[in-house]
Amino acid sequence: MKSATQRTYDWPRPAVTVDVVLLSLAEPQNPLSLQVLLVERGADPYAGSWALPGGFVHEHEDLQRAALRELAEEAGLAPGFVEQVGAIGTPGRDPRGHTVTVLYVAVAPAPGAPPRASGDARSARWFAHDGLPKLAFDHAALLEQALLHVRRRIARSSVCFELLPPTFTLNDVQLLCEVLLRRALDRRNFRRKLEQSGFLAPVKGALRLGKHRPAQLYRFVPKAFARYAARTWSLPFY
């Protein structure tokens, strides 16, 4: 048995990467399309394939910072929301050698600016969540895991409101939740709960005009949400 101190330097050991599932919402939100950022790999393995943005963690770099750095390098994007999903290290998931990845979900403001690729990425692009290409490595599984994480945390974190523009209608929120949860929600119940929650403030006099009746616009109030989240943490039990 070697001592731990020796191992640090002597033993072959897995590499550490971060991978990021960066989500956004398409602007023309008629059927409301969830977008995922992918990069086209510039180097082998999987050169030319699409993959989640990500890469190796530098020495003395915080994990979350590494995730943000990779997004900046590979797509010129700075998300407003990041959460760790977990670590995956199944042997064989990377043909280059043993690689442990720490997976993050992040949310970017509307993908207006087309991402500029650089760094390890040949190009970077938003894809609709339905209509993704085949992904490199085990990234399809990672994406699934990240979306599951979002689904579980949807009502406890502010993901939804990071995805939406600064002002939005209650129907926007509902449509988004329905996309994420993959099920329909009752409109009146949804609106009632959201209004009672107290962390959405109607923007006085602001209406979304459309082809039909205008809709009241709301904005998200982070401080009130924090209070709400703390209050609501009375978990159900057996």
Give the contacts of 146 (CB within 8 A, at least 6 positions apart): 21, 85, 103, 104, 105
SS3 of 164, please? coil
Residues 204-223 that bind DNA (CB under 7 A): 209-216
Q: Which one among 48, 62, 78, 80 touches its own copies, defined by CB under 8 A?
A: 62
22, 38, 68, 102: residue in contact with its own copies (rule CB under 8 A): 102
169's contact among its own copies, DNA, none, with CB below 5 to 8 A by partner kind, is DNA
Pull the structure tokens for residue 168: 């939005």
- Nearest to its own copies of 111, 173 (CB atom): 173
Report how far residue 231's alpha carbon sits from residue 67's, in angstroms, rounded to the nearest whole number: 31
Q: Which residues contact 18 (CB under 8 A, 6 or more apart)?
A: 54, 55, 57, 63, 66, 67, 70, 101, 102, 103, 104
Residues 161-200 touching DNA, rule: CB under 7 A, are: 169-171, 186-189, 191-193
Is-contact 163 18, C-beta < 8 A?
A: no
Using CB under 8 A as the criterion, which residues of the chain lie in contact with its own copies when the complex forms? 1, 3-5, 7-8, 11-16, 41-45, 55-63, 73, 84, 86-92, 96-100, 102, 118-120, 152, 155, 185, 190, 193-194, 197, 235-238
Using CB under 7 A as the criterion, which residues of the chain lie in contact with DNA when the complex forms? 169-171, 186-189, 191-193, 209-216, 234, 236-237
